[in-house]
Chains A and B, each alone.
Chain A
Amino acid sequence: MATPRRQPTKAQIRHQKMEELVIYPIDWLEERSGLVGGIRYFLFRNVPSDVNWMQTLGSAALTAFLVQAITGVILAMYYVPSASTDPATGKPVAWESIVNISDHLTLGWLVRGMHKWGASVFIILMFLHMGRVFLFGAYKYPRELNWIIGVLILLTGMLEGFTGYLLPWDQTAYWATVVGINLNGTAPILGPWLAQFLRSGQEIGLETLPRFYSLHMLILPGAIIALITLHLYLVVRLGVTSPPWSKDAAGGEPVEVEEPARRPGLTRPVPRTANGAAMQAEPGGRD
């Protein structure tokens, strides 16, 4: 005898509809992009249970970079990359726009100050992060490539510092850049060409400032964002290293592990499980 089916109450129907309303766009996006699964994988992937506070330095550097990106975009709305002289005041236009940002714009001093000092914080955090990776030996197999990408990020970050230093177009900036470019020029073969390219001619002049501006806010940020994306992709794919002093890779107490299977790869046969399905072929594969 079938039990009489209870009709759902109005409240239950409403609840169900609400749920569908929320889930539908998520499902829509997931079906067409796989993004939701990707984000879920990123958030809920396992890390060793004894990750150290020192291992927050990478994300701290990323935060400092994001501060640079956001404040940089705001500064770009008010900064004028022109070394020509304002006929009304006799001062360079770029320098005047910096004074305007610092003195007259609401919270302009904060945005400019955060960008200026955020640059130093970003550089310091990159160096500290590199020191942590060195201390943990985290550049060793299979993370060699990510070490190289990290060094390139550091290099690009320092070039951002070099190009950004000129933009206020003040005495210190101008003369430090004159000498900085002259020093580039002493390099063999490429040096003179590079110096010529940076100056956009024989002398630092009206065309140098827009060139540095373009490098500083288009080319180098593009490069650094691409490198950071690759860097993070490899961190997620290869996993977070446990501190070298932990007894066990997963961070807990060591347990008896059976002889591990050889890592399958492109050049060796992929072992098959009992039901014939291929085992996970890549170390960072989805769960």
Chain B
Amino acid sequence: MAAIPREKPTRSGEARAEFARYKSDVKTRGKPFFPYAMFHDTIMSLVVVATIIGLAAIWKWSSWGPHHDPTHKGLLGPIVDPPADPGTTSFVPRPDWYFYFLFYLLRIFKWPESVFLGTIGIPTIALVLLIALPFYDRRLERRPSARPVAMVAAVLTIISMGVLTWKGATAKEALASEVIQDVPRWIQQENLPPAAVPGAKLFATAGCTACHTYAGSGGSNLGAPDLTSIGTRNLGIQFQINHLKCPSCVNPGSPMPKFASLGETRLHQLAVFLESSKGTH
């Protein structure tokens, strides 16, 4: 009987041999899942359920205000927010905390030049790198001390995700009541004509500054550009009105919501204000 020719040792052959050794070792010298490992799992699961109940209880019991008001902010936020109103514009869009890292990326990348990197580019690359991990990290070595590149990459990933989440959580929100106090400064610095003043007040209160910055005020969110000197581009009143009514109709792919609900008069005021904004002096 001819002997089967021995394959020369290969990476995959080595991997298979190691896995076969693992299987037989565990089979002969491991311990049964029940009750040993399952005991640990059960304790951990009880901790998880207790934590969830605890969070629900803290949320409930810390958020009742002096007048039994469910919108009172407790330790973990109000029980209910005001109902959705598509007519309002003074909103600060804010996702749940585990999307903060994406949310904050859009403070770094601005419309229109690089916003694509923040919305699609970097998240897609990160996801592909994550899914493909076992295919480019093909060494069999599992000890962390012998995988310096992997460990450094992991630490850098954790730090950057942590920083982005933290920055997203502490990002200063531009409240209309605070921004309105900046209007006199805008008039002075931008040398705004009287016709632009109603638009400036509207700009401060209608929620524009939740995302846009203007002469040092405002929020810089979601890739929105700075509008301090938008008027120097001389886009025209009509363009500004059309854009406010339907941003994505004018700039395909713009994530800015529509502001048509403000009505023609106020849209015109805003457009005059924007066209008069020629930059600070």
From B19, B37, B127, contact of A47 by CB (8 A): B37
- Which listed residue, A55, A99, A137, touches B147 by the CB 8 Å rule? A137
CA distance A251 to B154 in the complex (A): 26
A270 within 8 A of B: no
Q: State whether A60 touches B48 (Cβ < 8 A).
A: yes
Q: How many residues of B contact A (CB 8 A)?
A: 94
Contacts of B79 on A, CB cut-off 8 Å?
102, 109
Asked whether any CB of chain B lies closer than 8 Å to the CB of A125, the reply is yes
- With A59-B41, A171-B82, A262-B13 known as contacts, the answer to whether A244 contacts B22 (CB < 8 A) is no
Q: How many A-B residue pairs have CB under 8 A?
A: 286
Q: Contact: B98 with A117, CB < 8 Å?
A: no
B83 adjacent to A250 (CB under 8 Å): no
A15 within 8 A of B: no
A42 neighbours in B (Cβ, 8 Å): 33
Taking CB atoms, residues of chain B closer than 8 Å to A179 are: 93, 222, 255, 257
Cβ B44 vs Cβ A140 within 8 A:
no
Contact A49 B31 (CB under 8 A): yes
- In the complex, the answer to whether B248 meets A182 with C-beta atoms within 8 Å is yes
Cα distance, A196 to B273, chains bound together (Å): 32
Residue B5 is within 8 A (CB to CB) of chain A in the complex = no
Does B29 lie within 8 Å of A251, measured CB to CB? yes
B residues 204-224 with Cβ under 8 Å of A?
222
List 6 other contacts, CB 8 Å, given A113-B56, A143-B134: A51-B36, A83-B84, A102-B80, A136-B142, A173-B81, A263-B17
The 4 residue pairs across chains A and B that have the minimum distance between CB atoms: A113-B56, A46-B30, A137-B142, A174-B84
Question: Which B residues contact A (CB, under 8 angstroms)?
Answer: 4, 7, 12-13, 15-34, 36-38, 40-41, 43-45, 47-49, 51-53, 55-57, 59-60, 70, 76, 79-86, 88, 91-99, 106, 115-116, 119-120, 127, 130-131, 133-135, 137-144, 147, 150, 154, 158, 222, 248, 253-258
